[in-house]
Chains A and B, each alone.
Chain A
Amino acid sequence: MKRLMSGNEAIARGAFEAGVTVGAGYPGTPSTEILENLVKYKPDVYCEWSPNEKVAFEVAAGAALSGARSIVTMKHVGLNVAADPLMTLSYISVEGGFVACVADDPGMHSSQNEQDTRNYARFAKVPIFEPSDSQEAKDFLILAMQVSEQFKTPAILRTTTRVSHSRSLVEIGERASPGKSVGFTKNPSRFVPIPIWGRPMRVRIEERLKSLQKLSESSPVNRIQWRDRNLGIISSSIAYQYAREVWPDASFLKLGMSYPFPDALIREFASGVSSLLVVEELDDFIEEHVKALGISCRGRDVVSGIMELSVDRLRSSKAMLEGRDAAEPKPSPFSEGLPPRPPVLCPGCPHRGVFYALGKEKVVVTGDIGCYSLGAFPPLNRMDSILCMGAGISMAHGMEKAGEPQKVVGVVGDSTFFHSGITGLLDIAYNHGHSTIIVLDNRTTAMTGHQDHPGTGRTLMGEATLAIKIEDIGRACGISRVNAINPYNLEETRQVISQEIATNEPSLIVSRAPCPLRERKKVGEVRKILAEECKGCELCLGLGCPAIENNEGGPRINETLCAGCGLCQQVCPAEAIVCGVRA
């Protein structure tokens, strides 16, 4: 039976069919739906959202050491957080199969950078698999699991946004038995990498790489397709699909297992074609190796490594390769001068009140990763830096210690706080900092589609659990000034923020209101603007609320969009904004 599945659904299906019993991860676009789909196979599979990727990785690693088959899921930058356990799990090896499913985001659709996960495979000396559609996503997860278990190595399954979020047809199979029974067997020389045992492990992983290379050279997922021999193309992942469309007649070496590199296959292919081209997204990972083998090829000189590829961009590459003008397609004249439509904080978003209040303060705001990144846009303009998860807190402390003359406020979300904000807060208390830290607690991991976290009182398995309080953690970290505010009350929000910025002690403010998008209900009564009372000062527009339109004839509230948060009513000096759309 065939079903239409996204790449992420197919990976989850593959994990189910492969006999996986433990799945852990942290949400991150474009990887989130893998675990959301895997949990549908409970109770056959235990799934959890861990506080961060490092923890998730270690949870899955522990399961694998006990002999269970496990996966861990994350986006590309999540693997930076989990890099520490990755590098040494490669040494201590696994007993049950272990696959890290990592989704890259070429084009930065929903990410702060464009790093290429394939580099981690070489770095950690582990095999990596790159599906190019949903069927391969399922098949390669199963293959990666087999390879992991056979060679006792962690494996990486790398997708990209277009593989994870494209849907295509998948043949459904049966679930395999979960394999060996779970039970840890003590073996310190294998699992304890203190130097006396770690050094032999270092040698063993090089031997393992050689065996894996033989597999890479013989595996059907690395295959030559002979067509016209004038041009041969080496490609992997979604780039392969684009390239097949642009060069339908060329010969291809399609890499499904791209590391360790299949040297013998690359040599055979190169010697069978007149000219060689490497088509890959992001880094010149394959091309560099082909050149290191002493084989000349084209690649980065005609195929850009910046932003995602497409059929259009490869058509330009083809023109350049053939010595023709690579005319970029001209934008349509009909789209000139259209108003841009960037993503914005939703109507009724509880973050808006805090950013509006921060706009009244002369401070530096070190921000973080989440919906509230949108607070950086006009008209709020109230986020001055974003680095990575948790950095909103630690960078505030660093600026302060450097002698930054302005006061610094760190802003972080609830899920992000649990992810990697706690250690930063601990640092502020420990090292005599006095930054003001605001946790924007909307009771969910909103940007990725409303996943639970340690503060929500629910697990991914759907069970009730204890809801960890951010205030309690703050106090336990040694912060004595802890305030909770309602961000829909603008006066209270402004007053508490001003007061806490002014103190010379570390301070934690928890701004708490649930995300209305998750609650699926209005915050309060829909508001309207009384045109006869409106003085046209446009202060309400400073909130950047998508429900307040200002086309012709002054501001008006779109009643379908309005979430009834009432912030506009609080900023209107003319009292022209009132409750109730109709009597």
Chain B
Amino acid sequence: MSETRSAKADAYENEAETETKSIVLVGVGGQGILLASEILAQAAMLEGYDVKTNEVHGMAQRGGSVMAQIRYGKDVKSPLVARNGAHILGSLEKVEALRFSDYIRPEGLAVVSTQAIMPVTVSTNAASYPTDADAEDRLRRAFPRLVYIDATRIAADLGDIRAANIVILGAISNDLDLPPAAWEKAISLSVKEKFLEANRRAFAAGRDYR
């Protein structure tokens, strides 16, 4: 069976390709990257987009660097984001934002938590962690469009320190063409009832952050 494509279909395909949005979420295993990725993907799906995501399981989850990738558009092929291909980079840890800084487009938005999590390589004196000033300087140079946000403190103030991931997601949402209703529904589909209110507030706090 073979399919013959018209020039029109080709044009549509190329247009669709350029419209695919790519988002990369990074952090340390256990920070809730996967939940944030799930909510984003659900919101895009509810808006009728084709969606693909990718995430890491197994060995890499044990306290290592983790990344989730989300792509949505009319027709998404690769679930993986190419280097310099992400419209948005969300990071729950500041060094991880720098580590994956080559994923973002030059005009892309970076939403980075001020949180620092020391890797064991630092405590065993095998490597050193950048100072606060050095990290911030590098972040500002790496990401011309940077939202540098103390997501952990905001989440803690709202009553659930673990919702820092959702604060970051809220800040990211400002740069995506998905309506509030889709986010609201996606959060309620992905979060357990008893954590729902805290997560709604965390999302709103991130979205309103300036």
Residues of chain A whose beta carbon lies under 8 Å from any beta carbon of chain B: 2, 4, 29-30, 32, 109-110, 133, 162, 165-169, 220, 223-227, 238, 241-242, 244-245, 248-249, 310-312, 315, 329-332, 334-335, 338-346, 371, 373-374, 378-379, 447-449, 541, 544-546, 548-551, 555, 558, 560
Contacts and interface: CB of A to CB of B under 8 A. Distances in A.
B17 interface: yes
A10 to B, nearest CB: 13
A227 B124 contact: no
B59 A341 contact: no
Contacts of B96: 341
In this complex, the member of A220, A332, A341 whose beta carbon has the largest number of chain B beta carbons within 10 angstroms is A341
A544 B79 contact: no
In this complex, the member of B2, B13, B123, B126 whose beta carbon has the largest number of chain A beta carbons within 10 angstroms is B123
Given A110-B57, A378-B124, A341 B102 contact: no
B80 interface: yes
Contacts of B60: 109-110, 343
Contact of A167 (B29, B53, B128, B139): B53
Contacts of B63: 341, 343-344, 346, 546
A418 B192 CA distance: 36
A246 to B, nearest CB: 9
Nearest to B63: A344
B114 interface: no
Contact of B79 (A166, A548, A555): A166
A332 B3 contact: no
A220 B29 contact: no
A346 B28 CA distance: 12
B122 A551 contact: yes
Nearest to A558: B118
Given A110-B59, A241-B77, A378 B126 contact: yes
Contact of B124 (A30, A226, A544): A544
Given A329-B83, A332-B102, A332-B142, A551 B76 contact: no
Interface residues of B, number: 64
A226 B2 contact: yes
A311 B85 CA distance: 10
Contacts of A341: 28, 63-65, 95-96, 99, 119, 121
B119 A340 contact: yes
Given A226-B4, A226-B5, A168 B79 contact: yes
Nearest to A370: B59
B20 to A, nearest CB: 9
B42 A169 contact: no
B127 interface: yes
A109 B138 contact: no
B57 A338 contact: no
B208 interface: no
B190 to A, nearest CB: 10
Interface stretch (B44-52, B170-178, B197-205): B44-52
B209 interface: no
Contacts of A330: 102
A34 B176 CA distance: 32
Given A162-B80, A225-B2, 4 more contacts: A223-B1, A341-B64, A447-B62, A544-B124
B59 A334 contact: no
Given A329-B83, A343-B61, A241 B78 contact: yes
A29 B57 contact: yes
Contacts of A315: 82
A310 B64 CA distance: 22
B49 to A, nearest CB: 9
A311 B119 contact: no
A244 B126 CA distance: 42
B55 interface: yes
Nearest to B62: A343
Interface string B1-15: 111110000100110
